[in-house]
Amino acid sequence: MASLIPLAEIPTISLLYRLKHLVPTSSATSTPSQAFNDTISLIRHDITKLQVDCIVNAANESLLGGGGVDGAIHRAAGPELLRECRTLNGCATGDAKITGAYHLPCKKIIHAVGPVYQYEKSKGGNRHEVLLRNCYRRSLELAVENGMKSIAFSALSTGVYGYPSEEAALAAVDEVRSFLQESNNLEKLDRVVFCSFLEKDEQAYERVIPRFFPPTSQDLSSSSKQSGSQPQAQGESSPSSETLAAQLPDPPTVEPTLDGQPEAKKQKVNLDDSIHRVIVKDDEKSEDDWEEVDKADGGPEERLDDEPVEVGQASSVVDVQSVQSSGIIDLNESQHSVQSMLDKDW
Ligand code: AR6
């Protein structure tokens, strides 16, 4: 089971540039900003394990739970969450509502209802994108209104709702940047974390982030690389980048479940010498699967009958995740000196 990740161990994109895990692009559309790059963070992990102020759930209009990250959050938070959700009278697509976090390590959960990609797109225009952007904006507004200083987003709509990863990352990252640029919103938030679960989503963020949050000269400078001094994120005492790099977490290998309960996705684990791989067969994910999981959880059994549900991935897609690669840092590398890590050509 994945371990809890304190905020200080969630890498900022400034650190990821210094580690050369993020690569600058020539097609950057924004001016580099150290303040932004010390605020925006990227991690591939189970979002229920992040010790941030609030996490953003990819919910449906009923707000009564479901599969994917929604199921994981309800399982980890406990039945009190469903009780509170029942009082909220659902939530429109493109909007978000906030609840307590109960047994989760965060303080609040923001439940955002992303668009079902094909369904909204078929209505014409860029409705799907507007709705997805609204989810990110409303979540940020709710976080600020409720005094939350750090927020972690799941990759809304990119699972069952079928939004293509890169298209979704573009809308998400651009909307977050717009929000932070407005009035003094940047000062109100210490961290905004993009938390992905699958490698395809993490890679989409890695391609998109440098366009909207390009590196500063400090992020790229060899002097800061040599000294190992990590620019301090707002509102927290920052450990050195050596500490951070050594502690960067492993990526998730399985969907979280409670002991004795069925997993939300069927998985095959092949431990082959030093190469440990988890193979997630997306074509085995179906609506039936997650309904079964919900009921077995003693969790929500209700959902909107007329809610259109699409399975996003092509049925033949097999997503292979290396569990030895941390998603950020190779496990073997993390055991080497940080200097060799910083010097490595990622
Ligand atoms: N931590 C972080 N991300 C996760 C986790 C986790 N534990 N588990 C899955 N993801 P999805 P949607 C990622 O399908 O597309 C539910 O049934 C996953 O890899 O959870 O918005 C709701 O009740 C993907 O990138 O949400 C709705 O009915 C992302 O979370 C419907 O699914 C979102 O995938 C919402 O569909």
**Alpha carbon separation from 308 to 60, 124, 267 (Å, rounded):** 10, 17, 26
46 CB under 6 A from ligand 1? Answer: yes
Per-residue pLDDT of 295-331, as tens digits, reads: 333 333 333 333 333 323 322 222 222 222 233 333 2
274 vs 222, higher pLDDT: 222
Q: Taking residues 224-245, what's their average pLDDT?
A: 45
pLDDT at 209 over 70: yes
Q: For a pLDDT cut of 90, what percent of the chain falls above it?
A: 62
Looking at the CA of residue 290, tell me the nearest atom of ligand 1: 17
165 CB under 6 A from ligand 1? Answer: no
294 CB under 6 A from ligand 1? Answer: no
CA of 146 to the centre of ligand 1 (A): 24
Tell me if 171 sits within 8 A of 132, measured CB to CB: yes
Domain locations along the chain: 10-217, 268-343
pLDDT at 237 over 70: no
For residue 183, the model assigns a pLDDT of 85
Most confident of 28-37, 238-247, 249-258: 28-37
Q: What angle do CA 20, 22, 27 make, to 5 degrees?
A: 125
d(CA 265, CA 67): 9
pLDDT at 262 over 60: no
pLDDT at 294 over 60: no
Among 132, 197, 250, 304, name the best residue to mutate to test ligand 1's pocket (greatest count of ligand atoms within 8 A of Cβ).
Answer: 197
pLDDT at 218 over 50: yes
197 CB under 6 A from ligand 1? Answer: yes
Q: Taking residues 6-12, what's their average pLDDT?
A: 98
Q: Over the chain, what is the mean pLDDT? A: 75
For residue 221, the model assigns a pLDDT of 84
CA of 175 to the centre of ligand 1 (A): 20
pLDDT at 103 over 60: yes
Count the neighbouring beta carbons within 10 Å of the beta carbon of residue 181: 12
For residue 123, the model assigns a pLDDT of 94
For residue 273, the model assigns a pLDDT of 28
pLDDT at 258 over 90: no
pLDDT at 159 over 60: yes
CA 250 and chain centroid, separation: 14
Per-residue pLDDT of 179-188, as tens digits, reads: 999 989 999 9
300 CB under 6 A from ligand 1? Answer: no
161 CB under 6 A from ligand 1? Answer: yes
Count the neighbouring beta carbons within 10 Å of the beta carbon of residue 129: 20
Tell which CATH architecture fits domain 10-217: 3-Layer(aba) Sandwich (3.40)
Ramachandran category for residue 124: left, alpha or beta (phi over 0 → left; psi -120 to 50 → alpha): left
69 CB under 6 A from ligand 1? Answer: yes
pLDDT at 191 over 70: yes
**Alpha carbon separation from 149 to 28, 39, 152, 184 (Å, rounded):** 27, 10, 10, 13
Per-residue pLDDT of 68-96, as tens digits, reads: 999 999 999 999 999 999 999 999 999 99
38 vs 282, higher pLDDT: 38
d(CA 104, CA 65): 15
Residue with tokens 């199921």: 71
Looking at the CA of residue 256, tell me the nearest atom of ligand 1: 7
pLDDT at 231 over 50: no
d(CA 10, CA 97): 25
Q: Which residue owns the Cα nearest ligand 1 atom 21?
A: 157
Looking at the CA of residue 158, tell me the nearest atom of ligand 1: 15
For residue 247, the model assigns a pLDDT of 57
CA of 161 to the centre of ligand 1 (A): 8
pLDDT at 160 over 50: yes
pLDDT at 240 over 90: no
299 CB under 6 A from ligand 1? Answer: no
